Amino acid sequence: MCGIVGYIGKKEVVPILINGLKRLEYRGYDSAGVAVLTGNGAHSKRVLGRVAGLEDALQGNGWQTATIGIAHTRWATHGKPSEANAHPHTDCKGNIWVAHNGIVENYQELKKALIEAGHEFKSETDTEVLAHLIEAETEKTDNLFNAVRHALSHVRGAYGLAVISATEPDKIIAARNSSPLILGIGPEENLVASDASAIINLTKEVIYLDDNEIAEVTADSFRVESLEFGPHGSEKRVKHPETIEWDEAAIAKDGHAHFMHKEIFEIPEVIRNSIRGRLIVEEGRAKLGGIENHKDELRDVERVLITACGTAHVAGRVAEYMLEEYAGVPTEVDIASEFRYRKPIFGKNDLLLAISQSGETADTLAAVKEAKEKGVTTMGIVNVVGSSISRDTDFGVYNHAGPEISVASTKAFVSQLIVSSLFTLFLGRQREMSLTMGKRIAEELKQLPELVKVVLQQEDAIKAIAAKYKDMPAIMTLGRKYNAPLAAEVAIKFKELCYIPAIDLPAGEMKHGSLALIDKDFPTLAIAPVDSVYEKMKSNIEEIKARVGPIIALTTEGNDELSQYASDVIYIPKTLEMLTPIVAVVPLYLLTYHIAALKGHDIDKPRNLAKSVTVE
Ligand code: AGP
């Protein structure tokens, strides 16, 4: 996912831009660049590769006097990763510079018309079209703000955009449509960024631009207007800064070798933060601020349709079991990239529940828009405050898991399960769930941070298991009921971190094909806590043992019988069946983390992947 940072104020801009880009590296990228304005015009430097390489290339640039600039990390969509395709992009005269997140869907036709009008292009990107469009508009209008607005009226697609111009060196123009963009408001300086982590060191006061908004930012002021003209021309938008809840420490490694390791060890605190102020134990119910005003609407819900991608989709699969078993609400789960293209038949009392850590996943966002088109009530479980999905859904619940930097989602997944448990409690107590059961769930939720801390103490033992399996050619992961989705989550981690092919299955499916894979070189991870389907899992484990397949088993502490089948056993403390995945996933995250570490992989930025998939 690309990153944008812009600054205008009194400080030397280059170090601010480089530091901002370094804070955006976690999003995944392949090239980077900056553009700044000094007394003698615009200057730019772009590189293929890491921000550190850009920083080196900027040494001795003589741009110390520059106090306004924009910068970008690019994850290639149109045009291969290269210096020429890196942002920011410029117009024919090198005056206007543009950093852009998103896609200009109609860029070919626009580029053709611009070339016919005499514009010369230097890159293969869709973004460069924007610079030339704005240039063409400056010949027709009196200022950059209006030129950007008119240029964007020709554009179809998604954008988060920052623009500077040597002919108007006292402002940055920012615009947003479907790709997140915020303004950072500081004393005698202002910023533009694609996410708050780029600027949190300079200000915690931010303004979230909404879709179809354009802003003009100077060193000591900002104004926001609607992009499109209404009946009375453009509409001024009144925006009040919001204070970011977290601080710089949240995006530092704090001595951990990787953000993923830090985020795994944050899980006990994340559980506390996800629960804080939301459990009324004596009444056995959940109080969720974001949906309290929609109680009656939610009481009438007759079906929940959950949609998400990747790990968030797995959280939705766990939520399906919870909502049906404990809230008695019919629930379906669908991968968002499939949901948006099939023809879902909605009922009048359906609720679409979108789960997303980033709140920017394109397929999940599109699924929400599709449901809203059909008049379906939409709810979000989202981690990033002010993100597109959190703003597009009718209401929702924030995770409060803090920034998740590592591409591999861990603490956010656990928080998604916690919030799903709270939502289950919320709906269940509106329906048939008894006070006793509600109190039991609430009490168990409160115990979870301590149970996870017990599991985290097993790290050395898990590291030893990782060393045994780090070179395995592939693995099968099995679970049943609440742990069938968990098998899928661990398989995602084996693939995205360890680059090991992993096949996840609801264990009952094994006999329908995959059992043929088992042999002495094909290990199985069997998630088998002592629960309502334990005996079935044990039978599956015996079937694998009979075919000499190596087994790593996970079960409840005190249950010693699996050690006769499994070469390695991981034990977890007992909790409610519906909460087991929250505890069981933690040692499995450590297992995949340590295998990836032993293989020397770039754990926080796995190859080919990005933290948030904002394109289809
Ligand atoms: C999980 O480790 C992956 N990084 C990926 O599957 C991720 O969960 C998925 O892209 C969804 O992201 P979201 O939660 O931000 O929507």
For residue 444, what is the domain's CATH number? 3.40.50.10490
- Tokens for 373, please give them: 């088109």
CA–CA gap between residue 172 and residue 68 (Å, rounded): 8
Residue finishing a domain among 455, 479, 508 = 455
The residue to mutate among 333, 613, 616, having the most atoms of ligand 1 within 8 angstroms of its beta carbon, is 613
Nearest residue (by CA) to ligand 1, atom 2, is: 408
- d(CA 444, CA 382) in angstroms, rounded, equals 23
Do 468 and 514 lie in one domain? The reply is: yes
528 Cα–ligand 1 center, Å: 25
Higher pLDDT, 456 or 235: 456
CA of 358 to the centre of ligand 1 (A): 8
Q: What is the pLDDT of residue 607?
A: 86
Does residue 27 or residue 416 have the better pLDDT?
Answer: 416
Residue 369: how many other CB atoms lie within 10 Å: 15
pLDDT of residue 560: 95
Active-site positions read: 2, 611
Distance 385 CA to ligand 1 centre (A): 16
The predicted structure's pLDDT at residue 340: 85
How far from 582 is each of 1, 153, 364, 436, 586, CA to CA, in Å? Answer: 28, 47, 23, 22, 7
Specify the ligand 1 atom closest to the Cα of 358: 15
Mark whether 448 and 493 lie in a shared domain: no
Q: What is the pTM of this model?
A: 0.82
Alpha helices in 431-512 (DSSP H): 435-456, 459-469, 483-498
End-of-domain residue from the set 195, 227, 244: 244
Element (H, E) at 332: strand 331-335
Give a three-class secondary structure readout of 47-83: EECCHHHHHHHCCCCCCCCCCEEEEEEECCCCCCCCC
Task: Judge contact between 69 and 34, C-beta under 8 A.
Answer: yes
Q: pLDDT for 274-325, tens place per residue?
A: 999 999 999 999 999 999 999 999 999 999 999 999 999 999 999 999 999 9
Work out the pLDDT band at 252, boundaries 50, 70, 90. Answer: confident
Same domain, 226 and 278: no
Residue 29 is predicted with a pLDDT of: 81
Mutate to test the pocket of ligand 1, among 382, 406, 409, 419 (most ligand atoms within 8 A of CB): 409
Query: What tokens appear for 452 in the block?
Result: 């996870």
pLDDT at 26 over 80: no
CA–centroid distance, residue 38 to ligand 1 (Å)? 41
Residue 345 three-state SS: coil
Residue 612's pLDDT band (cuts 50, 70, 90)? confident
Q: Provide the pLDDT for residue 507.
A: 97
Q: Which of the listed ranges 28-37, 313-322, 514-523 does the model predict with the highest average pLDDT?
A: 313-322
Q: In angstroms, how far is CA 77 from the centroid of its own chain?
A: 18
Give distance in angstroms: CA of 442 to centre of ligand 1: 28
Whether residues 520 and 554 fall in one domain: yes
Distance, CA 248 to ligand 1 centroid (Å)? 23
In this prediction, residue 291 carries a pLDDT of 95
For atom 5 of ligand 1, the residue with the nearest CA is 310
What proportions of the chain, in percent to the nearest 5, are helix, strand and coil? 40, 25, 35
CB atoms within 10 A of CB 547: 14
C-alpha of residue 437 to centroid of ligand 1, in Å: 32
| Residue 446 shares a structural domain with residue 491 | no
**How far is the C-alpha of 574 from the C-alpha of 349, rounded, in Å?**
37
- Asked if pLDDT for residue 232 goes beyond 80, the answer is no
Same domain, 406 and 536: no
Q: Which residues, other chains included, contact 181 with Cβ-Cβ below 8 Å and sequence gap of 6+?
A: 4, 101, 160, 161, 162, 174, 175, 192, 193, 194, 209
pLDDT band at 397 (very low <50, low <70, confident <90, very high): very high
Which of 195, 309, 383, 589 has most ligand 1 atoms within 8 Å of its beta carbon, as the pocket-test mutant? Answer: 309
Do residues 511 and 594 both lie within one domain? Answer: yes
Show the tokens assigned to 111. 């580029």
Q: Are residues 379 and 396 in the same domain?
A: yes
In this predicted structure, the answer to whether residue 557 has a pLDDT above a threshold of 80 is: yes
Nearest atom of ligand 1 to the alpha carbon of 364: 16
Residues 580, 477, single domain; the answer is: yes
Is residue 295 within 8 Å of 303, Cβ to Cβ? no
In this structure, the answer to whether residues 323 and 472 fall within a common structural domain is no
Which residue has a Cα nearest atom 8 of ligand 1?
311
Q: Residue 408 Cα, ligand 1 centroid: separation in angstroms?
A: 7
Expressed in angstroms and rounded, the spacing between residue 539 Cα and the centre of ligand 1 is 33
Domain count, the chain: 3
Round to the nearest angstrom and report the end-to-end CA distance of the chain. 12
**Please, which residues have CB within 8 angstroms of residue 58's CB and are 6 or more apart in sequence?**
14, 18, 34, 45
Using CA atoms, how far apart are residues 477 and 499, in angstroms rounded to an integer? 15
Q: Is 517 helix (H, G, I), strand (E, B) or coil?
A: helix
Q: Per residue in 155-169, pLDDT tens?
A: 998 899 999 999 999
User: Whole-angstrom Cα distance, residue 459 to residue 388?
Assistant: 37
pLDDT above 90: residue 141: no
Atom of ligand 1 nearest to the CA of 361: 16
Q: What is the pLDDT of residue 90?
A: 97
pLDDT at 25 over 90: no
Domain CATH for 224: 3.60.20.10
pLDDT digits (tens, 9 = 90+) for 345-360: 999 999 999 999 999 9
Task: Give the ligand 1 atom nearest the CA of 409.
Answer: 2
CB 129 within 8 A of CB 161: no
> Percent of the chain beyond pLDDT 70?
100
Statement to judge: residues 397 and 447 lie in one domain: yes
Confidence of residue 410 (pLDDT cuts 50, 70, 90): very high
Among residues 244, 261, 284, the one where a domain terminates is 244
Q: How far apart are CA 189 and CA 67, in angstroms?
A: 10
> How far does the centroid of ligand 1 lie from the alpha carbon of residue 409, in Å?
6
Look at residue 311 and give its three-state secondary structure. Answer: helix
Tokens of 287: 């109080």
Strands lying side by side in the sheet with 242-243: 41-48, 31-38, 68-74, 3-8, 189-193, 182-186, 205-208, 242-243
DSSP 287: -
Closest ligand 1 atom number to CA of residue 609: 4
Cα→Cα distances 446→69, 85, 262, 290, Å: 48, 51, 22, 21
Identify the domain containing residue 49 by its residue range: 3-244
- From 493, 499, 612, the mutation candidate for ligand 1 (largest count of ligand atoms within 8 A of CB) is 612
Q: Which two tokens stand for residue 242?
A: 């919001």
Ligand 1 atom, smallest distance to 308 CA: 16
Q: Are 194 and 360 in contact (CB under 8 A)?
A: no
CB atoms within 10 A of CB 82: 17
Task: Pick from 361, 420, 601, 609 the residue to mutate for probing ligand 1's pocket: most ligand atoms within 8 Å of its CB.
Answer: 361
pLDDT range class, residue 364, cuts 50, 70, 90: very high
My answer on whether 463 and 451 are in the same domain is no
Question: In terms of pLDDT, which residue wins out, 578 or 102?
Answer: 578
How many Å apart are CA 12 and CA 65, to the nearest integer? 6
Residues 535 and 521 sit within 8 Å (Cβ to Cβ): no
Amino acid 99: pLDDT: 97
DSSP string, 133-181: HHHHHHTTSSSHHHHHHHHHTT--EEEEEEEEETTSTT-EEEEEEBS--
Look at residue 526 and tell me whether its pLDDT is greater than 90.
Answer: yes
Q: How far is the CA of 589 from the centre of ligand 1 (A)?
A: 15
- Total H helices, total E strands in the chain: 18, 27
Atom nearest to 612 CA in ligand 1: 15
Query: At residue 474, what are phi and psi to the nearest 5 degrees?
Result: -170, 175
230: pLDDT strictly greater than 80? no
Nearest-CA residue for atom 6 of ligand 1: 310
Average pLDDT over residues 217-226: 96
Whether the Cβ atoms of residue 490 and residue 524 lie closer than 8 Å to each other = no
Please tell me the distance from the alpha carbon of residue 411 to that of residue 454, in angstroms, as a whole number.
16
Residue 416 CA to ligand 1 center (angstroms) comes to 12
The residue whose C-alpha atom lies closest to atom 10 belonging to ligand 1 is: 310
Report the atom number in ligand 1 closest to the C-alpha of 384: 15
CA distances (Å), 567 to each of 354, 524, 537, 604, in order? Answer: 39, 11, 16, 30
Q: What are phi and psi of 328, to 5 degrees?
A: 70, 30
Assess whether pLDDT exceeds 90 at residue 611: no
Residues with CB under 6 A from ligand 1: 309-312, 356-358, 361, 364, 407-409, 492, 496, 612-613
For the record, the structure tokens of 488 come out as 């899928």
pLDDT score at 497: 97
CA distance 71 to 33: 6
Residue 611 CA: which ligand 1 atom is closest?
Answer: 4
